[in-house]
Amino acid sequence: LGKGNFGKVYLAEHRTTKEKVAIKVVDKRAFQKSDQIQHAESEQSLCEAFATRMKHKHIVDVHEVIADDHSIYIVMEYMQGGDLFEQIRQSAYIAEPVARRWFREIMEAVHFIHSHGIVHRDLKPENVLIDKRQHLRLCDFGFGKKVAMQQQVLKTYCGSPFYASPEMVTATPYKGPPVDMWSCGVILYLMLTGTLPFQASNMGQLFRKISVAQYTIPRSVSPDASNLIHRLLCKNSRERITAIQCLQHPWL
């Protein structure tokens, strides 16, 4: 079904019930660095929590996590609609009424994980899946982390550069939740316009644009939606909107 940085995802079928599932296989032998092993173990333990006590209607439903010496197998619900990236690519952009419903679903999931002290750190459309009834679920907790205290400061650079926040690209120690909110701002911008807010011909230029939050919103985007994007793509992480505030924003 897909392939990312750390795993391959296969479509599988239960022999007796014929139920289709998706299985993500993470090969731990491919990891050399200790932080990669830590990320794999963190993904395993978060998925174990999602499989048992932390179900949410907008987080991918994990049935079971199986681990042996060299691999982790995450058995989850098969999401027929594929991922949001593919959807945006096919339709060029997402019209506001649909984008509004989808963004609300993403925010509900993000609010849920943040309120449980979990940060995702790799939010992007490839990690948002669509089910057969056109509802969304977050997946891929490969960079996810349980933070001991709300205020815990993190240092690891994570995720895709296009979705990385100013504090991430300037290697400033950061608090987790605002980093996820920035990435959601990039997702919202991409949904509504079909283009990324920060683009450049090289990484240095890209990071400079991100670090000063230099972007413009096309006039085709409604004023309320533009306002929400500005509140999300806010350079100062302390002033950036939170998930719960987002759910109360007029555009939603």
Catalogue the active-site residues. Answer: 122
Q: Which two tokens stand for residue 187?
A: 């997702």
Chain center to CA of 194 = 17
DSSP string, 168-195: HHTT--EEHHHHHHHHHHHHHHHHHHSS
DSSP state of 124: S
Q: Can residue 88 be called a binding residue for ligand ADP (CB under 6 A)?
A: no
Q: Can residue 6 be called a binding residue for ligand ADP (CB under 6 A)?
A: yes
Q: Can residue 2 be called a binding residue for ligand ADP (CB under 6 A)?
A: yes
Which residue, 183 or 211, is less far from ligand ADP as judged by CB? 183
Which residue, 2 or 166, is less far from Mg ion as judged by CB? 2
Residues numbered 17-46 forming contacts with ligand ADP, rule: CB under 6 A: 22, 24
Q: Distances in Å between the alpha carbon of 101 and those of 5, 6, 84, 110?
A: 29, 30, 13, 14
User: How many residues of this chain bind Mg ion (CB under 5 A)?
Assistant: 3
Q: Are strands 153-154 and 174-175 parallel, antiparallel or unpaired?
A: antiparallel
Residues numbered 112-131 forming contacts with Mg ion, rule: CB under 5 A: 127
Of 113, 129, 191, 243, which lies in the binding site for ligand ADP, with binding defined by CB under 6 A?
A: 129
Which residue, 85 or 215, is less far from ligand ADP as judged by CB? 85
State whether residue 204 is helix, strand or coil.
helix
> Which position has the token pair 């006590």?
53
Q: Can residue 126 be called a binding residue for ligand ADP (CB under 6 A)?
A: yes
Among candidate residues 154, 137, 132, the one with its CA nearest the CA of residue 145:
154
Q: Can residue 12 be called a binding residue for ligand ADP (CB under 6 A)?
A: no
How far apart CA 190 and CA 10 sit, in angstroms, is: 27
Name the minimum Å distance from CB 146 to ligand ADP. 18
Q: Distances in Å between the alpha carbon of 187 and those of 64, 67, 216?
A: 29, 32, 15
Q: Which helix (H) or strand (E) holds 95?
A: none
How far apart CA 105 and CA 99 sit, in angstroms, is: 10
Largest Cα–Cα separation, the chain? 56
Which residue, 121 or 231, is less far from Mg ion as judged by CB? 121
Q: Can residue 109 be called a binding residue for ligand ADP (CB under 6 A)?
A: no
Task: Candidates 48-56, 91-99, 138-146, 241-249: pick the segment binding Mg ion (CB under 5 A).
Answer: 138-146
Among candidate residues 97, 103, 128, the one with its CA nearest the CA of residue 249:
103
Q: Can residue 5 be called a binding residue for ligand ADP (CB under 6 A)?
A: yes
Residues numbered 140-169 forming contacts with Mg ion, rule: CB under 5 A: 140
User: How many residues of this chain bind ligand ADP (CB under 6 A)?
Assistant: 22
76: partner contacted, choices Mg ion, ligand ADP, none (Cβ within 5-8 A by kind): ligand ADP
Which residue, 12 or 217, is less far from ligand ADP as judged by CB? 12
Q: Which residues bind Mg ion (CB under 5 A)?
A: 4, 127, 140
Residues that bind ligand ADP (CB under 6 A): 1-2, 4-7, 9, 22, 24, 60, 76-79, 82-83, 126-127, 129, 139-140, 142
